[in-house]
Amino acid sequence: MSTQTKTTKTAPKRSAPVAPKPKPETVEQVAETVEQVAETVEQVAQTATEQVAQTATEQVEKATAAVTQSYGDFATFQTEAFAALVRSGEILAKGAEALSKEYFTYAQHTAEANSEAAKALLAAKSVNEFVQLQSDFFRVSLDKSVDEGSKLSEMSFKIATEAFEPLQKQMTAAVEAGMKPLSV
């Protein structure tokens, strides 16, 4: 058995024919082509300029709207903050009035009690009676002072709590408004 080897010859590779470049025949044709290219470039530049101008105008309008909205929000916040401050001041004024009425009522009752105690002490017929009256008066005065002090302290705390409430609500609203853009 014999082995034959087949050899195949490959044909030389030929490159694709290159189309000849069109050559302008006259200077007028070249000038016309240059003019057409210039017109095309001018149209592209004009279109690009219009698009850039339109985009810039839209961005300026959006920014203006955002600034206007922010200013409106800020103005509203300031108005609400001022209203809360006024409301808090009104509560404090009414509370101070009630507190001072309570204090002056206590002072008036104390003055009346002191006057009655002085009369009783002057009418005492013995030293023992005088000491007993003074001891009773001191005990009653001390109890009333402690009770009235507690009452005035509770009133003051209640007034302070009520007066702070509008401010606290406004601060809470401000924090929530400030956090709103962060949660988006």
Tell me how many domains the chain contains: 1
Numbers of helices and strands, H then E, in the chain = 2, 0
- Its pTM stands at 0.57
pLDDT(181) > 80: no
Q: Please check whether residue 53 lies inside any domain of the structure.
A: yes
pLDDT in tens, 34-85: 888 888 888 888 888 888 888 888 888 887 887 787 777 788 888 888 999 9
pLDDT(13) > 90: no
Question: In which residue are the tokens 């002191």 written?
Answer: 114
Q: Please check whether residue 21 lies inside any domain of the structure.
A: no
Q: Which whole number is the average pLDDT over 98-116?
A: 93
Domain span at 132: 28-183
Q: Please check whether residue 19 lies inside any domain of the structure.
A: no
pLDDT in tens, 165-175: 999 998 898 88
